[in-house]
Chains A and B, each alone.
Chain A
Amino acid sequence: MENKCENLSLYIIDELTAREKEQYERHLRMCAHCQHELESLQETWQSLFYEIEEVDVPETLKAEVMDFIFEKNEPVQREHKVETTKKSLIERFKFIFKKQFSPLSTGVAAVLIIGLAGLYWHNLHLKDTITALENEAVGPVQIVSTYALKGQGLAASANGNAYLLQEGSDISLVIELNNMPGTKDKEVYQVWLLKNGTRQNAGTLKPDQNGNGLITYRLPPAHSFDDIGITLEPNPNNTQPQGVKVMGTF
């Protein structure tokens, strides 16, 4: 029996996490043994339900259940009612208006009211923009995800961490490295973001005397990546790596 078959009973009693469930369902499609067992064991589990004493249901219960469900729809109906009373109010208002004002003064008053409403709307809009701007300015910085980096080859002793920070709609990548071997002449460490086999340059750095380095990189909008790789490059500003990989996510 393959290892995954063990999850059959957990699948039946619905105690797998969403991910495990998905994995098991994939396994199930391929595993004749599980397919063979599933239906009868599931039926067994479900039939445990019937170990009940059947009792009479109180007659009032139906009304209570239906009220419970359909009362939830009542507010909608009430709103309709409010709307109709609103309408009749407007009509009454119109009637009073007609009695009090000549067509000319009505026109003038209407223009004034529309003007006022326009100003008010404009004012509201302005307020919204200001609050939006304020919010943006003080928007909290959140760590979206973190990655651990480990050295290899030349920089086997190095290690580091990378953080994806979200500030408003901007996403920045911050990489912090320790124990990096020093660089000679024009040599730099270059960061690459890997996505489906393509690499994107995310900047270069030179570590300090103690081998520590820090780099931040603002990701283009809607940009994502799977892994981070760092190479030791003979010159800065390469668009494709020439040197060897010395660090990466694992």
Chain B
Amino acid sequence: MKSKTDEELMELIVQNHRQALEELYDRYVKLIYSFSLKISKGNTDKTKEIVQLVFLRLWTTKSTYNPAKGQFVNWLLTITRNIAIDLIRKEQKHKGTIPFELDEMQQIQDQQLEDVLQQVSRNLVKQQIQEAKRHLSEPQQRLINLLYWEGYSLSEIAELEKKPLGTIKSRLHQTLKKLRNYFSKETGGARHGK
């Protein structure tokens, strides 16, 4: 199992190989767990629920991954975010209130040796994002946080910001472009227009 690619593992999952699912778990749980913990603001029960739902989705809706449409990891992370946002939105509806605290989690963890390389490159990406985000204006930063991490829809954000939806839409476009440009600057322009 260890030598198989993610795509091969997905094919085995289609044939009901539990071991393949366990291998994918071992490979990606740290990412999924960390993401879920952040998006649920450190709530470990909710984090567990999200992780369970993500792997259940992998096990039950097997055929939806299409290698032609992009990397496996991006597909997996998109699923994770969708599940997490669904859960969060459901709860917001229940409570009727809007939690506004961002980025509360500050936990420094020790790392396993074999993960170090991967982690270094992820940390680089993280630094890049944080660096790029610093160049955004205050409203642009708020937009990304509400949209990406808090799971608000654009029209909800328009309401919160008391701005027309069209303004928020173009703000999003500008923000994504600005982030992209800072990314590409830091990676020597290699990504731009790829």
Given that A53-B107, A54-B30, A55-B107 are known contacts, is A69 also in contact with B52, CB under 8 Å in the complex? Answer: yes
Cα distance A235–B34 when bound, in Å? 78
Contact count band on A: 35 or more
Q: Contacts of B63 on A, CB cut-off 8 Å?
A: none
Binding site for A on B (CB under 8 A): 18, 21-22, 25-26, 29-31, 33-35, 37-38, 44, 48, 51-52, 55-56, 59, 74, 77-78, 81-82, 105-111, 119, 122, 125-126, 128-130, 133, 144, 147-148, 153-154, 169-170, 172-173, 176-177, 179-180, 183-184, 191-194
Residue of A nearest to B128 (CB): A47
Where chain B touches its partner, the secondary structure class is helix
CB-CB contacts of A1-42 with B at 8 A, as 1s and 0s?
Answer: 000001011101111000000000000000000001001110
Pick the 10 closest A-B CB pairs, nearest first.
A44-B180, A50-B125, A68-B52, A9-B173, A57-B33, A52-B34, A51-B129, A54-B34, A49-B77, A9-B172
CB distance from A142 to the nearest CB of B (A): 30
Where chain A touches its partner, the secondary structure class is helix
Cα distance A72–B21 when bound, in Å? 15
Query: Assuming A49-B81, A50-B125, what are 9 further A-B pairs, CB within 8 angstroms?
Result: A10-B169, A13-B154, A15-B153, A47-B128, A52-B126, A57-B29, A62-B25, A65-B48, A69-B52
Q: Contacts of A53 on B, CB cut-off 8 Å?
A: 34, 38, 105-109
Q: Contacts of B107 on A, CB cut-off 8 Å?
A: 53, 55
Contact A48 B144 (CB under 8 A): yes
Q: Contacts of A45 on B, CB cut-off 8 Å?
A: 148, 176
Q: Contacts of A52 on B, CB cut-off 8 Å?
A: 31, 34-35, 38, 126
Cα distance A9–B168 when bound, in Å? 11
Q: Contacts of A70 on B, CB cut-off 8 Å?
A: 18
Q: Contacts of A6 on B, CB cut-off 8 Å?
A: 169-170, 173
Contact B173 A51 (CB under 8 A): no
A46 at the interface (CB under 8 A from B): yes
Q: Contacts of B25 on A, CB cut-off 8 Å?
A: 62, 65-66
Contact B35 A49 (CB under 8 A): yes
- For this complex, 9 residue pairs linking A to B, each with C-beta atoms less than 8 Å apart, are A44-B183, A50-B122, A52-B38, A53-B108, A53-B109, A55-B34, A55-B37, A65-B48, A65-B55
Cα distance A6–B173 when bound, in Å? 8
